[in-house]
Structures are given as structure tokens and as C-alpha cells.
Structure 1
Amino acid sequence: MQKVILPSVSGFLAALFFRESALALLHAAGVIDPAGFSTVPFLPLGIPEFIANALWSAIFGILMAWLLRVSPEHRAPWIGSLVFGGIVLTAVGAFVIDPARGIWPNGNMLPRLAPNFIANAIWGWGALVFMRAFMAGSDAE
């Protein structure tokens, strides 16, 4: 259960509590136009965009836990989680998910990728926070 369920729930919750909140703060600071918790339909599924991001984040939570070997016995890879979230999620979003939606990478992508990198890095940190919190009770077993 710790290898699949807890990381996926952690990734899902981190998307809602950390990533979307970071996007909302970047919007409040005037860095980006769209605010967090976007209810724009996510094509091709038609569900709100923040729910689709949370579902993708659940999958990436499992991948992050496996790659960084997150467990109660190991030290928490805080820097690794920031790097994983920032680089992997941003790259997948820009080069896999956006082209599937008809948004192709072109020109200067830095203004679009930098805020996503920040929000996704915060997602990685938040997912690790949730994973460590959920796994803390398993030490006594």
C-alpha cells in the first residue's frame, strides 16, 4: 500500500494544496495571468483543468516515490523532490501534454515554463511532505 496508494494520494493532494496555491500566489503577484484552480475544461476529457492536473500528479507521485526511494527508513530527499517536480513535470507538460492538446512548443518558452517550473517544484516538495506525513505512522508497525 505504501508504494502505490500513499504516493498517489500524496501527489493528488499536493497538486491541490501546493501547486494550485503556488499558481494562485504567482497570479496575485502579477507574474502570470491565469490564476490557480482553473475550471477551464481540459481537452479531450472535458473535466476542470485543476482536477486533470491533480490526476496526472497522482501518477507522478508514484514515479517520484519510486525514483527517489521515499520510505520511512530513508532520509527525505527534499532537494530531489524539488528538482523532480520542477524538471520532470514541466517537461512532460510542455512536450507531451500540451502537444496532445494542440499547443506546440515554439519560440521563447521561458515566460511560460518558468512559472510552471516554480509551481511544479513546489508540488514536488509538497508531495514529499504528504508522503512523509502519511508514512510517519508506519514506523510503529
Structure 2
Amino acid sequence: MQKVILPFVSGFLAALFFRESTIALLHAAGVVGPAGYSTAPFLPLGIPEFIANALWSSVFGVLMAWLLRIAPEHDAPWIGALVFGGIVLTAASVFLVDPLRGIWPSGNMLPRVALGLVSNGMWGWGALVFMRAFMARTESD
């Protein structure tokens, strides 16, 4: 259960509490245009975008836990989680999810990629925080 379900839930919660709140704080500070917790319909499913992002993030939470070998007996890979979230989730969004929705990478991608690196990096850190909080330690620890 700790190898699939807890990283899945951790990725979902990190998207809601870390990624979306980072975007909302950057919007409130006037740094970025889009606000967090977008309720625009995510095509083709028609669910709010922030829920769709959280579902995608939960799948990547399982992948991150597997790649970084996150376990209670190992030290927490904080830098690896930031880098994984920032690079892998941003690349997946730009080159996988958006083309599936008919949105192709073109023009000046720097603002979009910069926002993705920051918000998704915070997602990686938040997912690791939740994973470490949820994973039980044994009695010998």
C-alpha cells in the first residue's frame, strides 16, 4: 500500500495544497496572470482544471516515489523532489498533456515554462512532505 496508494494520494494533495496555492500566491503578488484553482473545464473530460491537474499529479507522485526510492528508511531526497517536480511535470504538461488537448508548444514559452518550473517544483516538495508524513516507520527506527 505504501508503494502506490500513499504516493498517489500524496501527489493529489500536493497539487491542491502546494502547486495551486503557489500559483494563487504568485497571482496575488501580481507576478503571473492565471490564478490558482482554475475551474475552467478541462477538455475532453469537462472537469475543473485544478482537479484534472491533481489527478495527473497523483500519477506522477507514484512515479516520483519509485524513481527517487522514497521510503521511511531512506533519507528524504528534497533536491531530487524539487527537480523532479519542476522538470518532469513541466515537460509532461508542455509536451504530453497539452498536445493531447490540441494545444501545441509555440511562440514564447518562457513565461509558461517558468511558472511550471516554480509551481511544479513546489508540487514535488509538497508531495515529498506528504509522503514522508504518511509513510509509517517500523518499531526499530
1:138 aligns with 2:141: no
Q: Which range is displaced more, 24-33 or 62-71?
A: 24-33
2:65: which partner in 1?
65
Matched with 1:85 is 85
Residue ranges of structure 2 left out of the alignment (5+ in a row): none
Q: Could you tell me whether the CA contact under 8 Å between 2:73 and 2:137 is conserved in 1? A: no
**Structure 1 stretches of 5 or more lacking a match?**
none
TM-score normalised according to structure 2 size:
0.96
Point out 4+ residue stretches in structure 1 off by more than 2 angstroms.
137-141
- Give the 5 Å matches for 1:20-59: 20-59=20-59
Q: Which string of whole-angstrom CA distances, capped at 9 and with x for unpartnered residues, describes residues 48-84 of structure 1?
A: 0000000001100000000000000100000000000
* Overall identity of the aligned pairs, in %: 76
The answer on whether the counterparts of 2:39 and 2:48 sit within 8 Å (CA) in structure 1 is: yes
Q: 2:100 matched to which residue of 1?
A: 100
Give, in whole Å, the separation in 2 of the partners of 1:97 and 1:130: 25
Aligned length: 140
Coordinate RMSD, CA, aligned? 1.0
Work out whether residues 13 and 127 of structure 2, in 8 Å CA contact, stay in contact via their aligned partners in 1. yes
Deviation of 1:140 (Å): 3.1
Shift of 1:129: 0.2
TM score, norm. by length of structure 1: 0.96
- After TM superposition, give the deviation of residue 33 of structure 1 in Å: 1.2
1:8-36 Cα distance to aligned partner (Å, 9 max, x none): 00000000000000000111111211100
* Structure 2 SS opposite 1:139: coil
